[in-house]
Structure 1
Amino acid sequence: MVQEYQSPVRVYKYPFEIVMAAYERRFPTSPLIPVFVGSEITADTTTADGSIRTTERKCKLVVEAPYLLKKIIGVDYVYFIQKNILDMRERCLNIEATNETFSNRVNVLEKCRYYVHPENSEWTCYEQSALLDIKYFLGFESTMEKLGMKQYIQNISKGKEIIEFYIEELKKDGITNIPRWKPCGSDQPCDSNKVDENLSIISRDSPTADSQSKVWLEDEYIKRYIGELTPLQESKLVQFKKQLSQLQKSKLPSDTTLLRFLRSTDFNIEKARENLSLSLTWRKKHNIDNILSEHEFPEALKKYFPCGWHHHDKEGRPLYILRLGQMDVKGLLKSVGEDCLLKQAMHVCEEGLKLTKEATHTSGKPITTWCLLVDLEGLNMRHLWRPGVSALLRIIEIVESNYPETLGRVLIIRAPRVFPVLWTLVSTFINETTRTKFLFYGGNDYQSPGGLPEFIAVNDMPDFLGGSCIVKIPEGGFVPKNLYLKDGELEKEACTLTEKSIYQSVTLTKGQAHEVFVEVEDAGSVITWDFDVMRQDINFNVLKLLVEVQPSTLLSCARGNLNVIEKGWKEGEHYEKVEQTILCHDGESVQGSHLTTKRGTYILQWYWASDSLNISSGHHTKAKIMYYYEMLKTADYRGSMSSLMSANSKFSSLSNR
């Protein structure tokens, strides 16, 4: 395997001639480069007009390897051949170095270049690249590759400081200006500072540099606008951008975007390029680049989506608040549909990218991520409505694929005991690196010294958390049914929110009950339900059988309208109610759950409240419900089921009579 290194562009704010004089002082040895213990000039020629000087050196370097490995390879020093071509007319120095030692086993090729900054003739640029290819090394190929590249990167990281040191030495000697080269017999210096047409320059002082899709990257620009990177990470970023510039005919993504995709793949360029390519295709297909300017959100989202941006955290990152516990998930989905909620999530992500960029320019330091504050007060089992969870998982999947490494920190506060259920469902869909950024606070723990005050300034603390700063976001709450999808779309929407229908419809005549039996094998399992009353008023019960029923009887009940609970059965003798009977009115939506304490057969029972006839239903002679239920086993929650006691008997109506 070939190891490759490519440096970002370093800029010395000194003329080329001064930098060259400092460079020459590195030879024959330098105390600042301990591994460089000797060099001798083997060839030195100059053209007739003196404009080009070609110098070859044989350089001696110490082998920096473990003692045992040095004994195995049998050498303490390695020799390199360095060839320098200094062009005084063009004001550039090209350096090429190859190894002489072990040349039949190892190929090392290093290329360096000093040249005049294309935008400022008084500055000098420096670039460096290297290839390491170990073909055979006594079975230590992988070890030598890693060791060689590690030592190489450690040494080159000192390169800029070394030149700066010798420039200071020149100043001490009174050398602060060196005239430019001029042809013999000429009084005017040659002024041939050609700009390489293949280079597109980033000025590190340019406030719009990040948006210009340049081919090269300056090291100081990276530190100012992108962040502190190791030399190897800088190399991967530079290589990634150069590869894309050769493949991408259109405008390149921003440098921070490239870095995000690299980080998400642990700086694997091939994987990052594949993921970015898929993301760019997705963005084009869904017109994501214009979502901030073109997309209009419906009234339900504007009034009942309890989320929004709120100042910054203490590290300068934009802060987004999501009051999930106050969100009517089902009402929003039935009002706007899943696709609209997805677009809302994409809108938030695009806003986050825009705000981080603005924060970078205003704060004077790189801000590449944003902070998410999730308030779970009010969260209960109704938030685990299956279509809502499915929509959430789809949003997470899309965000993880197209907006990797955008979250710097996620603060989960006022987490109720039901939260482990939701977390268990969604956490497996969140990238492992992203999961490490989550901090959880139950109850009022967020008010402790290690809580929100550590991350959010006192002046920016939200008012609903006891702070003085007013949060300008919707308060959430139930979405009125007059905002639900019209023209018969309610039933259709319930069936299309997921890939396949998970709801069943049933009609009931007076005196008829519909029963669903649930076999619970492990105490501590949770039975959840969600149903809509389409016509008439319905009574709902949750029962547990106290007598055994033949499997054939249960099977017959499952296939038809037979009832398990017979007319002659008595409560307390044949069955018991584990939830109080609830009257559900025409048009209501109900979600709830029951935490089982015993094994056995449980019954979900709906029956028409025949003592009343709902006039608004048009005197229908039949009642109708659409329902969905699910049993959640204890094992599915990895031991967290004991925290669900507060979720017991949680009924919630999404429309108040």
Structure 2
Amino acid sequence: MSGRVGDLSPKQAEALELFRERIQDVLPQLPAQHDHFLLRWLRGSKKHVKLLNLIFSQFFFQHLEFRKQMKVDTITTDWRPPEVIEKYLSGGMCGYDREGSPIWYDVIGPVDPKGLFLSASKQDFIKSKIRDCAKPLGSNVESITMIYDVEGLGLKHIWKPAIETYGEILQMFEDNYPEGLKRLFVIKAPKLFPVAYNLVKHFLCENTRLKICILGANWQEVLLKYIDAEELPAIYGGKLTDPDGDPRCRTRINHVGPVPSSYYVRDHVKVDYEQCMTVSRGSSQQLDYEILAPGCILRWQFASEGADIGFGVFLKTKKGEWKKAGQMLEVLPSQRYNAHLVPEDGSLTCEHPGVYVLRFDNTYSLFQAKRISFTVEVLLPDQLQSSPTNGKSSSHVHAEGSSHL
């Protein structure tokens, strides 16, 4: 039994009847009251009928509170995303798969995460996704097919504030739109994709993960097995030559570029740092990170108090030994940053094993010590990922600090 309308087992039918009875007082508050909608909350569970109803009734009432707080029922008429989101956030709904499910496209490569976050609030991004979910998709539409075009995925896309917000959006989908995803095709995945996926996959339940299909070089052939050519944009191997002009396209599948600075409403995004240290006047501080395998990504964010600070990344062969900057291989040239005005962030793909040294340089300052707030992470390639929880693993990373004149 599929757990869908017209294909219910006796146990599933009993669960649906009990569920409807339990929530009958709040049914008028819902966007739909039919069985198609209610079964999305129950489908896939192996639990006992009464326990299942207790659990999902709790989730359901939390969803009603979510709808109330976010004003979901009026968000399509009473709220509009900022212009920068509408112009510079790629993606859109266009066409239907062979079974009649709408298709949503996300085009990742051209997106400028930092420019968007400097131009709109995190709440704006979350509300824009809720608004997309709230738009009517047609009668009894239970789920959508998604296509993630990740060509051009780069280090800028794993910027920590963007990843954290994306995680919140994924969690919002999981909690409030159960079984809304039919399948997700990832196409044109670069080498960086497994690292990026490791950062967000813990927000997804096991059932959702099983619906993700990472396609290889034959991705066009696979898409056409599920989607008629007339429903697929030409850029993805179909016959839709102008999806943005097609009346079935509910939002633009636009390929955008960097956000112009004229949209910026702030000069930085607030960050909660994990560590602090003081770099004495005329001194430097070195943080060692031992990388045991190539392909790891070193990611950092830092801010200084009072004045600027020098920063660079170097490579040495042995941990625990201190070396001057000139005795190490310079990986990222050292320069002074006005991190007291605008916090700095960056990342680096570690092509070779070794000890990578993040060096904060205050040797040029004869009178003023600098207090540095910072967060440093090592993101592991998929084959080294020992835990799905946070993208970090102490078994592959060694960090220590030292201060020298």
Which TM-score band (shorter chain)?
0.7 to 0.9
Contact 1:420 1:637 survives alignment (8 Å): no
Q: Which amino acid aligns with 1:312?
A: Y
What's 1:333 paired with? 117
Instruction: Say which of 262, 274, 287 aligns to 1:517.
Output: 287
Q: Say yes or no: does 1:565 pair with 2:332.
A: no
Larger Rg over CA atoms: 1
Q: Which amino acid aligns with 2:259?
A: V
Unaligned runs of 5+ in 1: 1-153, 155-221, 361-365, 555-563, 611-620, 641-657
3-state SS of paired residue (2:118): helix
Instruction: Say which of 354, 360, 382 aligns to 1:599.
Output: 354
What's 2:155 paired with? 381
What's 2:203 paired with? 429
Contact 2:288 2:319 survives alignment (8 Å): no
Sequence identity (%): 24
What's 1:545 paired with? 316
What's 1:309 paired with? 93
Matches within 5 A, 1:44-123: none
Matches within 5 A, 1:358-373: 358=138, 360=139, 367-373=141-147
What's 2:243 paired with? 471
Contact 1:305 1:476 survives alignment (8 Å): yes
Q: Say yes or no: does 1:460 pair with 2:231.
A: yes
What's 2:9 paired with? 230
Q: Which amino acid aligns with 2:218?
A: D
Q: Which amino acid aligns with 1:630?
A: E
Q: Which amino acid aligns with 1:293?
A: T
Q: Which amino acid aligns with 1:454?
A: K
Matches within 5 A, 1:85-164: none
Deviations 1:81-127 (A, max 9, x none): xxxxxxxxxxxxxxxxxxxxxxxxxxxxxxxxxxxxxxxxxxxxxxx
Contact 2:311 2:359 survives alignment (8 Å): yes
Q: Say yes or no: does 1:629 pair with 2:384.
A: no
What's 1:258 paired with? 38
Alpha carbons of 1:228 and 1:439: their partners in 2 closer, same or farther (altered >3 Å)?
same
3-state SS of paired residue (1:232): helix
1:533 & 1:304 partners in 2: Cα distance? 31
1:467 & 1:329 partners in 2: Cα distance? 29
What's 2:174 paired with? 400
Instruction: Say which of 73, 95, 111 aligns to 1:289.
Output: 73
> TM-score, normalised on structure 2?
0.76
Measured after TM superposition, the shift of residue 377 of structure 1 is: 0.5
Matches within 5 A, 1:341-352: 341-351=125-135
What's 1:145 paired with? none
3-state SS of paired residue (1:332): helix
1:320 & 1:276 partners in 2: Cα distance? 25
Say what the alpha-carbon RMSD is for the aligned residues: 3.9
> TM-score, normalised on structure 1?
0.49
Measured after TM superposition, the shift of residue 539 of structure 1 is: 7.8
Measured after TM superposition, the shift of residue 632 of structure 1 is: 2.9
Contact 2:275 2:375 survives alignment (8 Å): yes
Measured after TM superposition, the shift of residue 389 of structure 1 is: 1.3
> Which structure carries more relative contact order (alpha carbon 8 Å, separation 6+)?
2
Contact 1:335 1:483 survives alignment (8 Å): yes
3-state SS of paired residue (1:477): coil
Deviations 1:332-361 (A, max 9, x none): 22221211111112112222xx20xx1x4x
Deviations 1:356-379 (A, max 9, x none): xx1x4xxxxx53111111110011
Alpha carbons of 1:388 and 1:606: their partners in 2 closer, same or farther (altered >3 Å)?
same
Contact 1:331 1:479 survives alignment (8 Å): yes
Contact 2:95 2:232 survives alignment (8 Å): no
1:306 & 1:535 partners in 2: Cα distance? 39
Alpha carbons of 1:434 and 1:549: their partners in 2 closer, same or farther (altered >3 Å)?
closer
Q: Which amino acid aligns with 1:420?
A: P
What's 1:243 paired with? 22
2:360 & 2:262 partners in 1: Cα distance? 26
Measured after TM superposition, the shift of residue 590 of structure 1 is: 5.9
Unaligned runs of 5+ in 2: 245-251, 389-405
2:188 & 2:304 partners in 1: Cα distance? 33
Q: Say yes or no: does 1:446 pair with 2:219.
A: yes
Deviations 1:12-42 (A, max 9, x none): xxxxxxxxxxxxxxxxxxxxxxxxxxxxxxx
Q: Which amino acid aligns with 1:324?
A: I
Count of residues in correspondence between the two structures: 364
